Structure 1
Amino acid sequence: MSFRQDFAALAGIGVDPAGGWSRPAFSPADIAAHEWFLAQGRACGLAASYDSFGNAILRLEGEGAAVLIGSHLDTVANGGAFDGAIGVLAGLEVARRIKAEGTPGAPVEVIAFRDEEGRFGPFTGSRAMVGLHDEEALARARSLDGVNLSDAMAQAGFKPGNAPRDWDAVAAWLELHIEQGPVLADAGVPLGIVTSIAGQERLSLKFTGQPDHAGTAPMALRRDAFAGAARFAAAFRDEVLAAGDDDVRGTIGMVRVSPNQGNVVPGEVLLGLEMRGTNSATLARLRDSVTELANSIAVQEKLELRVRNTYSDAPAPMAAWLQDALASSAASLGHSTMKLPSGANHDSGIIGRIVPAGMLFVPSVGGRSHCPEEETDLGQIEAAIDVLHRTVVELRRNDREKASDRRTVANQSGIAG
């Protein structure tokens, strides 16, 4: 099998009649994709298994600390064929090549994490492997369409819970992913080396005023919740731009107006917003200034305001030495690269808090992602796989040399090892 054959085979799983691909976590299509992945690993002589959470793992044995590669196989509803999938397939191809080469070195693992897209919560699979879940809360988790995680996992033979591993036996984590944005394509650069994964601050703002008749309530006497929310929305964008950081993003993605009738002054508006950036201090200042802005507008409009921080996650820098290793491999193969942050989060953002992590991006045509039109040139993906392969070969060789040095020191000291 080759990468292109793998890609075509996986793209046949979870095709949605409504368009695109739908492989929600622990759905029959998601289960089939993971079973297919493990079968491909077994076919080329790799050990294949699940951890207790259902993360699928292929392993090539070796000596020393393992190099991990991977991503995820689940998709959003009516999503694309590339997001996550190419990272898993790239890892499979790299492990297959190294197995065929027969060169000794450190172990290699390829991991397909469950539920990266957050059907049951953010990064439930990689968070389980790191041991970050509140297991009682996890057991109660349910999707927006009302499916219990426990019931969904039971279909695949698993139960909710953490599935921690020995991270001391891991040297590095690498992930290949589509950019999901337009930067690389606009610059005409075939490969991106990720410097950091953006942190996030998510807020829920509820402006409460007084519902009144739209025809009889004088403008000057109204406590119009939407008027306050609208003023805030316009000022929020200016606040984000004023942060003076090109990596910062701010989005109001959810608005609920009540009672949402054309002849009634809105009495309540709920806003869901998020801010992303690669600098923790900038994010914290922006969170505070946005909260202060909302309070100020609420006072001016004679509204009550409730602010809740619904999610907070610090930026996750990628390891500088892995950035260098990827850049060196790309240069040796004649490929140009550029460094850029990732505004989207990935499993690397979870794993990179435990072990050194590196990410390689390939361009997204038109910057499109999470939609059927998601597209990346297969030749560019194959070039990225070559870079990943060379990087992993070097990491395995270096770890083998370190292991040899450790044995030499142990033997000279009379220490068994």
Structure 2
Amino acid sequence: MTDPLAPIAGLIADFQALSAIGRDPEGGWSRPAFGPQDCAAQEWFLARAREMGMSARYDAFGNAIARTPGMGPAVALGSHLDTVKNGGAYDGALGVLAGLEIARRAIAAGTWARPIEVIAFRDEEGRFGPFTGSRAMTGGFTPDDLAQKRGQDGTPLVEAMAEAGFDPSRVREAARDFSDLHGYVELHIEQGPVLEARGDAVGIVTAIAGQERFAIRFTGRPDHAGAAPMELRNDAFAATAHFADRFRAMILADPSDTLRGTIGVVKLMPNQANVVPGEVRLALEIRDTDGTALSRATAMTEALVAETGAAFGSETKVRRIYGEAPVALSSGMQESLAAAARAHGIRHSRLPSGANHDAGIVAAHLPVAMLFVPSKDGRSHCPEEHTDWAPIAQAVTVLEEAVRQIAEQEF
């Protein structure tokens, strides 16, 4: 009996080798951008590409780029190798390794219409800000911009880059002329439960959700928890709890079924059990692939903050800290992926991506497509992150045929 995993034996071996880098004693994998483990992973990637016969280099920001021999604009594939702390082995890394696998097959065939390029972007996970590597490649930074960026631990980006061997003053040189690329395809784990629930081996991504992030503050008055009567309190947390409940109800009631709203950070001050909270700060984000729904939810959230503050006598402040518009992916490249899946009888469906990816940044400059593989129990950014090899093998089959088609088409 033929082993269905035999065609991806090289990918599996690469995965095992890469997975040896960045194992965290506390569990999972920790490869923070520009840290020693991240640098080791990037060096491993470049060395592996050279062993395969590819040219391999860093750009001025530290993105790792490998390319098969050949003339003309290349079809690019890739993702990232950095992780969140105690993250999983698949997020990002699988896309880079799948890119190497496609390059391996292209080199073996020797007849592909275009060269293949594989990119391992730096800092997709945002140690120093969202998608700093792909933003640098698309010309998003000046040296002054980099000088302002710090990690959550206070580490300046310019220091981390210098320690990794890169000169922050040269960041403008990372800005790329995208005329040497034909398109970009990113394979990624879904990071959600949809494909597993549907029983599909792959998912063709239709769009990447836009997002709005806000810092919100409710300010009341701190008082003694025993002496202050309930009816006379200006309790900032009571206002916050009321807002949070109504915010969730608002998201659920919206006609868009792809709208997501999350309050991920809540900080109480003075954060003592015997003091009525005088101030609460929230970090809130809203996501949707529908730009109209995203704008509607943003306006409703701001109005809800004001209404809650007025009802509870709390002062309020809303500050927008980050925003990205939704990104529609290439319809022609989506169809190439779907045609490849149909040709091989591989179960597939189309779905949006609630998470942003480097593909979403590159899409402003190139035709872009994404292919998802199922995440076990929908888990990601944790040690339990897992995808079975069988759907990965099927996804690589789809990817290979689709990239061949994409290389011969104009978009």
For Structure 1 versus Structure 2, the TM-score category normalised by the shorter chain is: over 0.9
For 2:193, the aligned partner's letter is P
Q: How does 1:128-207 map to 2 (within 5 A)?
A: 128-160=136-168, 161-162=171-172, 163-207=174-218
Structure 2 residue runs of 5 or longer lacking an equivalent are 1-8
Match of 2:44 in 1: 36
Aligned to 1:126: 134
User: Does 2:288 correspond to 1:288?
Assistant: no
Matched, 1:355 2:363: no
Distance 2:207 2:376 in 1: 22
Whole-angstrom distance in 2 between the partners of 1:234 and 1:92 = 47
Q: Which residue does 2:99 correspond to in 1?
A: 91
**1:116 aligned onto 2:127:** no
Alignment partner, residue 409 of structure 1: none
C-alpha separation between the residues in 2 aligned to 1:43 and 1:262? 61
After TM superposition, the structure 1 = structure 2 runs for residues 231-270 of structure 1, keeping only pairs within 5 Å, are 231-270=242-281
Superposed displacement of residue 260, structure 1: 1.2
Q: 2:340 matched to 1:332?
A: no
CA gap 1:14/1:257 in 2 versus in 1, 3 angstroms:
same
Could you list the runs of 5+ residues in structure 1 that have no partner in the other structure? 403-417
Paired residues of 2:106 and 2:112 also in contact (CA < 8 A): no
CA distance in 1 between counterparts of 2:260 and 2:194 reads: 15
Cα distance in structure 1, aligned partners of 2:362 and 2:55: 22
Confirm or deny: 8 A CA contact 1:181 1:367 kept in the other structure: yes
Q: Distance in 2 between matches of 1:106 and 1:98?
A: 9
Q: Which amino acid aligns with 1:40?
A: R
1:169-200 CA distance string (max 9 Å, x none): 32210000000000000111110000111110
Which protein is bigger by CA-based radius of gyration? 1
Q: Helix, strand or coil for the counterpart of 2:113?
A: coil
Task: Check the 8 A contact 1:191/1:360 in 2, yes or no.
Answer: yes
Aligned residues: 400
- Aligned partners of 1:62 and 1:104 also within 8 Å: no
Report if aligned partners of 1:87, 1:176 keep a CA contact under 8 Å in 2. yes
1:15 deviates by: 0.8
The one-letter code matched in structure 2 to 1:231 is H
Give every structure 1 segment of 4 or more consecutive aligned residues whose post-TM-superposition deviation is greater than 4 Å: none
Per-residue displacement from partner, 1:120-159 (whole Å, max 9, x unpaired)?
1100000000011253121231111222211211222112
> How far apart are 1:398 and its partner, in Å?
3.6
Report the counterpart of residue 240 of structure 2 in structure 1: 229
3-state SS of 2:366 partner: coil
| Whole-angstrom CA distance in 2 between matches of 1:223 and 1:350 | 44
Where does 1:365-376 land on structure 2 (aligned, <5 Å)? 365-376=376-387
Q: Could you say which residue in structure 2 is the equivalent of 1:407?
A: none
2:307 paired with 1:299: no
User: Counterpart of 2:392 in structure 1: which amino acid?
Assistant: I
Decide which moves more: 192-201 or 257-266.
257-266
- Picking from 398, 403, 406, the partner of 1:395 is 406
Q: What residue number does 1:384 align with?
A: 395
Distance 1:80 1:138, change over 3 A: same
Q: Which residue is 1:318 aligned to?
A: 329
1:408 equivalent in structure 2: none
Task: Give the SS at the match of 1:132.
Answer: coil
Paired with 1:315 and 1:82, the residues of 2 have a C-alpha distance of: 25
Counterpart residue number, 1:70? 78
Computed over aligned residues only, the root mean square deviation of the Cα atoms, in angstroms, reads 1.3
Is the Cα contact below 8 Å between 2:234 and 2:314 reproduced in 1?
yes
Deviation at 1:116, TM superposition (A): 0.4
Cα distance in 2 between the residues matched to 1:191 and 1:91: 16
Query: Could you say which residue in structure 1 is the equivalent of 2:319?
Result: 308
Task: Indicate conservation of the 8 Å contact 1:63/1:105, yes or no.
Answer: no
Q: Which secondary structure state, in structure 1, belongs to the residue aligned with residue 258 of structure 2?
A: coil
Rounded to whole Å, the distance in 2 between the matches of 1:331 and 1:155 is: 48
